[in-house]
Chains A and B, each alone.
Chain A
Amino acid sequence: MAKTVDQYFDDLRDTRVWRSIFRSGTGSSTLKRSLAIQQNVFLHLFATKVRRRMLSFSATWYLGTLTLGTFLMLVVTGILLMLYYHPSVPQAYADTKDLQFVVSSGLFLRNLHRWSAHAMVFLVFAHMFKVFYRGAYRPPREFNWVIGIVLLLVTLLLSYTGYLLPWDQLAYWAITVGSNIASAVPVFGDKIHFMLLGGNLVNANALLRFYVLHCMILPLAAIFFIAIHFWRIRKDGGLYAHQSEPSTLTKTTLAKEAQ
């Protein structure tokens, strides 16, 4: 009898090399599926089981998941953009122009990075309001809500620092307007403004600082806090289930209740 694709896949998963990489091994028993999560450094951030009703669209609108999706897309397109971009004046602008007109698919890459960034800012706000209106900030999830606020700020800063990088008029003046707000902070305003820009005006130093923040510090911060965010969801007992959301009881519970 011919083998099915699944069986070939199982054979692959049974090879010595595969098993040396993935600790969970083959098989689709519940145990093996649980191990696939528990024995993986990335996936073990998640719980092995999730309440079915939390997966319905209405529970979360998948907004957190989609926020993660935009972030992943931004990391991939961002790394590709970095291959062509020099954070110096006026080379930065020339590189952006080249991406637009010379580099193959450069225009597409830049567009995708740009629109994904806008989408992420929108989604992170939407996710926050959705979590709020579900009341999912309730204990023991308080701190995950606070982590969420940190992620909101990191997302805004990521988007804001990226805005300067094309070094065109739009970028330059948007950052000038925005960074002037920092000067309004009482007492330390001018110091903060100077530290942010590496000078009193938006110039080559500011571009370099924003580049380091945008491509290094802030993405690492985002990954760090997203990891804690997901791990906390598991530790806090999965997603918040509101009483008014209809629950689907398992047969065993129904049987118990019938007794």
Chain B
Amino acid sequence: MSTKDFVTGMDSNARKAPRRVAFITRRTSAQVKAVDEETLQTFPEVLFRAAVAIEVMAIGLVTMALLFNAPLEGIADPSHTPNPAKAPWYFLGLQEMLHYFPPVVAGVLVPGLVVMALVVIPYFNINIEAEGLFLKDRERRLRIFYIVTGALVLFLVVFRVFVALVPTLIVAAFMILAAQSSPQSPSAFRRYLASKPLSYWIMSWFLFELVVLTAIGTFFRGPGWSWVWPWRS
């Protein structure tokens, strides 16, 4: 790029190439670093691609609707509780937690905290800069990591939540590997791990737990919320 502070351009043919013009008032220093990228017109190119993507998905869903029927059981009967009574699949992670913790914790506190945590992600500079977790201040951060993970593991063991413990330990193992890696590591995978920020680890842990708990609630829980093997029934 040129080293000029401020570059603006107007095509001589404004009818053909509409452009934005920036007006910069006096006494504001303008440092415009615009990278002029190749663009496409939304109409028709982008809309066409979106339509094709939706079309392909629609074909898939229509095929599914022709092949598989939506479930319909007997009429609602308040006097006959099915066992187990399951929520829709996307809530089965929550229902699995209700099995271990009182409803205030599993049904209110945890989902509330999850939503709050998701909302605040973009408001923390640490998530904006998103530097590798252990690249700076390694000793101290590793110490905090061990304390927090230790407390979490202890908590899960005390409440015997082994289904949530396993993903936690796996993510922790990767984090320890990340702490032993650096941007100079010979392996590309370890360089990748070393570059990952705190939010990446927390989110991946959350995603992992979400998938595991939902899968267990859906496939591995039978009467009385007891453990069943889906292939043995």
Q: Which of the segments A136-144, A208-216, A220-228 contacts the partner chain?
A: A136-144
A80 contacts partner chain B, Cβ-Cβ < 8 Å: no
Q: Which interface residue of A29, A171, A177 has the most chain B CB atoms within 10 A?
A: A177
Cβ A173 vs Cβ B90 within 8 A:
no
Q: Give Cα A48–Cα B42 distance, bound, in whole angstroms.
A: 5
B21 contacts partner chain A, Cβ-Cβ < 8 Å: no
Q: Give Cα A201–Cα B78 distance, bound, in whole angstroms.
A: 9
Cβ A177 vs Cβ B2 within 8 A:
no
B223 contacts partner chain A, Cβ-Cβ < 8 Å: no
Cβ A169 vs Cβ B41 within 8 A:
no
0 or 1 for each of B18-42: is its CB under 8 Å from A? (1 = yes): 1000000000000000011111111
Q: Which residue of A lies closest to B125 (CB)?
A: A139
B186 contacts partner chain A, Cβ-Cβ < 8 Å: no
Residue from A133, A137, A173 within 8 A of B122 (CB atoms): A137
B152 contacts partner chain A, Cβ-Cβ < 8 Å: no
Q: Which residue of A lies closest to B7 (CB)?
A: A256
A30 contacts partner chain B, Cβ-Cβ < 8 Å: yes
Cβ B70 vs Cβ A110 within 8 A:
yes
Residue total for B at the interface (Cβ-Cβ under 8 A): 73
Cβ B53 vs Cβ A66 within 8 A:
yes
Residues of A with C-beta under 8 A to B123? 142
Q: Give Cα A125–Cα B94 distance, bound, in whole angstroms.
A: 15
Q: Which interface residue of B53, B71, B128, B200 has the most chain A CB atoms within 10 A?
A: B53
Q: Which interface residue of B37, B86, B127, B203 has the most chain A CB atoms within 10 A?
A: B37
Cβ A181 vs Cβ B103 within 8 A:
yes
Residue from A51, A149, A184, A259 within 8 A of B115 (CB atoms): A149
Cβ A115 vs Cβ B80 within 8 A:
no
Residues of B with C-beta under 8 A to A118? 89
Q: Which of the segments B56-64, B141-149, B168-176 contacts the partner chain?
A: B56-64
Q: Give Cα A118–Cα B107 distance, bound, in whole angstroms.
A: 22
Residues of B with C-beta under 8 A to A176? 85
Cβ B119 vs Cβ A146 within 8 A:
yes
Cβ A69 vs Cβ B54 within 8 A:
yes
Q: Is the interface of B mostly helix, strand, loop or mixed?
A: helix
A86 contacts partner chain B, Cβ-Cβ < 8 Å: no
Cβ A66 vs Cβ B54 within 8 A:
yes
Cβ B38 vs Cβ A50 within 8 A:
no
Minimum Cβ distance to chain B for residue A18 (Å):
16
Q: Give Cα A47–Cα B18 distance, bound, in whole angstroms.
A: 13
Q: Which of A93-136 contact B (CB under 8 A)?
A: 93, 96-97, 100, 107-108, 110-116, 118-119, 121, 125, 128-129, 132-133, 135
The 9 nearest A-B residue pairs measured at CB: A184-B103, A69-B54, A172-B76, A181-B107, A111-B65, A142-B122, A114-B70, A173-B85, A112-B65
Show 28 A/B contacts (Cβ-Cβ < 8 Å), sorted by A.
Answer: A48-B42, A49-B39, A49-B42, A50-B40, A51-B38, A55-B40, A68-B54, A73-B61, A90-B75, A97-B72, A111-B64, A115-B65, A115-B70, A125-B210, A138-B128, A142-B122, A142-B123, A145-B122, A156-B90, A167-B75, A167-B76, A168-B76, A169-B73, A173-B82, A181-B107, A183-B103, A248-B37, A253-B36
A residues with CB within 8 A of B: 29-31, 33-34, 36-37, 43, 46-53, 55, 62, 65-66, 68-70, 72-73, 89-90, 93, 96-97, 100, 107-108, 110-116, 118-119, 121, 125, 128-129, 132-133, 135, 137-139, 141-142, 145-146, 149, 153, 156, 159-160, 163, 166-174, 176-178, 180-181, 183-186, 201-202, 241, 247-250, 252-253, 256-257, 259
**Known contacts A69-B53, A132-B203, A252-B36, then 19 further A-B pairs from the complex at CB < 8 Å, ordered by chain A residue:** A34-B41, A37-B42, A50-B45, A51-B37, A93-B75, A111-B65, A116-B61, A119-B57, A135-B130, A138-B122, A145-B119, A160-B88, A160-B91, A167-B75, A177-B87, A181-B98, A184-B107, A248-B37, A259-B2
